[in-house]
Amino acid sequence: MVLTSVLSLLALGFFCAVVLSAASRVFYVEEDPRVEAVCEALPGANCGGCGYAGCEAYAIAVITDPDVSAGLCCAGGADVAIAVAELSGKSAGSDDPEISFRRCVKDEGKVQKKFEYQGVQSCTAAGLLQDGSDACKYSCLGYGDCVKACPFDAMYLENDLVVIDPDKCVACGACINVCPNKVLEMIPRRARVQVFCSTQDKMKAVMDVCEAGCINCMKCVKKCPANVISHVNGQIRIDQAACLAYGPDCEEACVDACPRDILRLMCPVGITAKAQETAAAKQAAEAAKAAEAENHRQTPNRSEDYDYFSSTVPAGLRCARSWCRCNRRASSSLCRPCG
């Protein structure tokens, strides 16, 4: 009886093994070894900044789909893009990295409060109640949903405003996806000029609630010689690629034209010619002042030297002079050499 049971189990096990072996051969899916190599090259953050569910999903897509770029991994940066490009046989993509940017200066504008919010400390929850407690419905609510969503600790709160650490931000886009007021956006790190306000309201509505908000006066649009600034859906927008391509020859006419100083320089390459001349003149003046101070330090002031042979010097020094003369010794620190 026992022997029959053992033989039956052995036969069943052998049959299952044969079936599984046949199934593995019939349903075998050949896997490209480059997928595993790409997975090893990726940082493994699984942040979703590339648009895929994780690093493995992106690795499969970049190898199997010819339309997927090798430079989508924002967490890895240029080095990872080059490695993925070599493994996939594609171009590394754009070498112009981006960074998250907050389009709100409510701390400068003294934005009025509609009411005191005492509910769940979340931007999403606060935004559901009359678009938030701020009178401007396009302001940063300051409860830190983006800070919690950032997988790289590149954001923190300061004075109820989110602050972005440029050294840690990899432009994964996680913060943008959770911002209910769409205050955050991605801009090139080399961006020269940017609008520090995201309002879509008219002039009077903005001036009633914020002292620094964009009033949509359109002066920047009219003054821009490169025609890269436009008014879209109630907002002032800058075509950053076209602005960078045009270069600093415009001398940032839009910045000078803005009556509320809401268009500002972002990068030193965008300094105007006038500002460059002022900086150069200031630097030259400081250099001349430093040279004059150095010359003054090296040149002794004879008016401050003691005349140790004068009757007006202290008695102690006259005694030292007499001692020096009598003993035929010279002391450069007290008196002149005896003759």
Calculate what percentage of the chain has a pLDDT beyond 70: 82
Q: Is the pLDDT of residue 98 over 80?
A: yes
Q: Which residue has the higher pLDDT, 208 or 304?
A: 208
**Average pLDDT in the 181-203 region?**
91
153 in Cβ contact with 167 (< 8 Å): no
Per DSSP, the chain holds a count of helices (H) and strands (E) of: 14, 8
Judge whether 179 is annotated as a binding position.
Answer: yes
Judge whether 146 is annotated as a binding position.
Answer: yes
Judge whether 136 is annotated as a binding position.
Answer: yes
pLDDT of 267: 57
Q: Is the pLDDT of residue 261 over 80?
A: yes
CA 116 to chain centre: 32
- 105 and 64 in a single domain? The answer is no
**Average pLDDT in the 76-94 region?**
83
Does 303 fall in a domain? Answer: no
| Phi, psi (rounded to 5 degrees) for 331 | -125, 105
Last residue of a domain, one of 94, 109, 129: 94
Does 28 fall in a domain? Answer: no
266 in Cβ contact with 191 (< 8 Å): yes
Judge whether 217 is annotated as a binding position.
Answer: no
Q: Is the pLDDT of residue 18 over 70?
A: yes
Token pair listed for 289: 């002042």
The residue type of 186 is: M
Token pair listed for 22: 């046949």
**Average pLDDT in the 115-127 region?**
91
CATH number for the domain spanning 107: value is 3.30.70.20
Q: Which residue has the tokens 């009757």?
A: 311
pLDDT of 327: 44
**Average pLDDT in the 84-97 region?**
80
Q: Which residue has the higher pLDDT, 300 or 297?
A: 297
DSSP letter, residue 112: P
- 56 and 118 in a single domain? The answer is no
Burial class (CB in 10 A: 0-12, 13-18, 19+), 157: middle
- 212 and 267 in a single domain? The answer is yes
Res. 249 pLDDT band, cuts 50 70 90: confident
Does 291 fall in a domain? Answer: no
Res. 218 pLDDT band, cuts 50 70 90: very high
Last residue of a domain, one of 149, 173, 188: 188
Of 3-7, 52-56, 217-221, give the lowest mean pLDDT range: 3-7
Which domain range does residue 226 map to? Answer: 190-283
**Average pLDDT in the 197-222 region?**
92
Judge whether 123 is annotated as a binding position.
Answer: no
**Average pLDDT in the 272-284 region?**
57
Instruction: Compute CA distances 131 → 37, 137, 138, 276, whole Å.
Output: 47, 6, 9, 43
Q: Is the pLDDT of residue 141 over 90?
A: yes
- 121 and 184 in a single domain? The answer is yes
- 90 and 102 in a single domain? The answer is no
- 39 and 103 in a single domain? The answer is no
Judge whether 50 is annotated as a binding position.
Answer: yes
**Average pLDDT in the 73-98 region?**
82
CATH number for the domain spanning 54: value is 1.10.15
pLDDT of 279: 54
Judge whether 55 is annotated as a binding position.
Answer: yes
Does 292 fall in a domain? Answer: no
- 55 and 82 in a single domain? The answer is yes
Q: Is the pLDDT of residue 282 over 80?
A: no
Judge whether 197 is annotated as a binding position.
Answer: no
Of 51-55, 148-152, 193-197, 263-267, give the lowest mean pLDDT range: 263-267
Judge whether 172 is annotated as a binding position.
Answer: yes
Res. 308 pLDDT band, cuts 50 70 90: very low
- 106 and 152 in a single domain? The answer is yes
Closest CA to 171 of 282, 118, 97: 97
- How many domains does the structure of the chain reveal? 4
Last residue of a domain, one of 266, 283, 300: 283
Q: Which residue has the higher pLDDT, 111 or 3?
A: 111
Does 17 fall in a domain? Answer: no
Token pair listed for 18: 């044969």
Res. 93 pLDDT band, cuts 50 70 90: low
Q: Is the pLDDT of residue 122 over 60?
A: yes
Does 4 fall in a domain? Answer: no
Does 228 fall in a domain? Answer: yes
What is d(CA 193, CA 191) in angstroms, rounded to the nearest whole number?
A: 6
Q: Is the pLDDT of residue 276 over 70?
A: no
**Average pLDDT in the 269-294 region?**
63
- 195 and 275 in a single domain? The answer is yes
- 129 and 80 in a single domain? The answer is no
- 177 and 137 in a single domain? The answer is yes
Burial string for 10-47 (b: 16+ CB within 10 Å, else e) reads: eeeeeeeeeeeeeeeeeeeeeeeebbebbeebbeebbb
Calculate what percentage of the chain has a pLDDT beyond 90: 33
190 in Cβ contact with 244 (< 8 Å): yes
Does 14 fall in a domain? Answer: no
Judge whether 326 is annotated as a binding position.
Answer: no
- 194 and 274 in a single domain? The answer is yes
Q: Which residue has the higher pLDDT, 315 or 36?
A: 36
Token pair listed for 323: 């001692």
